[in-house]
Amino acid sequence: MTDATCLPSAEVLIDRLPMDGAFNMALDEALLELAAEREYSVVRIYRWSEPTVSLGCFQARTSPVPHRFQSLPTVRRLSGGGAILHDQELTYSVVLPARHAARHNPSGLYAAIHRALIVLLGDCGAAAALRADHDLRQAALREAASAAPPEPATEPFLCFLRGDPNDVVHVSGTKIIGSAQRRRRGVILQHGSILLRTSALATDLPGIQDLVPNFLLAEFTDRLPVAVAAAVADQWTVREANSTELQRAEDIRVRSA
């Protein structure tokens, strides 16, 4: 993304157990708040203890929730974008301090992290690309075949049914990773959802293992924290959330209840 000598170090948090949506969002918000007092980046990899819908921070509160999701816990993310069904997935969050070079080009952070994930996906058996690159290739093929571009559709409720140039897509064009950001006084929070397999609640959304049955999931999961950290930092350490972060998260959770 930038000259590595300019990148602050990172601390990688790996949640050992899946947690509920309220905790996951509260801890990410705590990390965002604490980043104003810190000089280093934080990368977090986590899972969800039950199927949960998260709404983007700018998604209208009056947006109708489809009937199939109405019985699920619903939380609001700090980052933007559409709703996400967190079920058969891995989630990452990255919080960069104001001194990080990415503040001068926040949009470039999408490409930096996503290109690192594309390399890792390829190493584990799943060929992927940025949607922008994939769409350019498809447009060239359509032009060669004199075919018309697809008609634009109305914006769907779920983020994974929407398209963004920064998405990571399987070579089939299916979205498998989507990310969104929140920026606050120079600090950047980026969330990313990595869809591993189809949820029984959203059978129209195939995951990586559905598209690539021989995908090396264990290797991907093991290497994921370092792949994300290496995209934003020159060096990093791995730890669990500390008492300061957990207490701030609890305060936020109580405040938001």
Q: Half-sphere exposure (CA, 13 Å, Cβ side) for 77?
A: 29
pLDDT band at 157 (very low <50, low <70, confident <90, very high): low
pLDDT at 29 over 70: yes
What is the three-class DSSP state of 96?
A: strand
For the chain, give every domain's residue range. 4-58+73-256
Give the pLDDT confidence of 99-109 residue by residue, as tens digits.
999 999 999 99
Report pLDDT for 221. Answer: 97
pLDDT cut 70: percent of the chain above it: 85
Top pLDDT among 143 and 39 is at: 39
Assess contact for 189 and 95: CB atoms under 8 A.
yes
Top pLDDT among 182 and 163 is at: 182
Report pLDDT for 68. Answer: 83
pLDDT band at 122 (very low <50, low <70, confident <90, very high): very high
pLDDT cut 90: percent of the chain above it: 72
Please confirm, yes or no, whether 159 is among the known catalytic residues: yes
Q: What are 8's two structure tokens?
A: 């602050």
> From the centroid of its chain, how far is CA 116?
13
Report pLDDT for 131. Answer: 87
Cα separation values, 11 from 16, 51, 130, 140, 172, Å = 16, 28, 27, 42, 35
pLDDT band at 137 (very low <50, low <70, confident <90, very high): low
Which range (35-44, 139-148, 187-196, 226-235) has the least confidence? 139-148
Q: What are 209's two structure tokens?
A: 């293992």
Report pLDDT for 4. Answer: 44
pLDDT at 128 over 50: yes
Mean pLDDT, range 124-139, rounded to an integer: 81
pLDDT at 241 over 70: yes
Check: pTM over 0.75? Answer yes or no. yes
Rounded Cα distance, 95 and 32, in Å = 6
Cα separation values, 202 from 84, 110, 157, 206, Å = 11, 25, 12, 9
Nearest to 103 by CA among 178, 189, 170: 189
Among 6, 57, 124, 159, which one carries the catalytic annotation? 159
Residue with the two structure tokens 């708040």: 33
Top CATH class, 4-58+73-256 = alpha beta
Average pLDDT over the chain, rounded to whole?
89
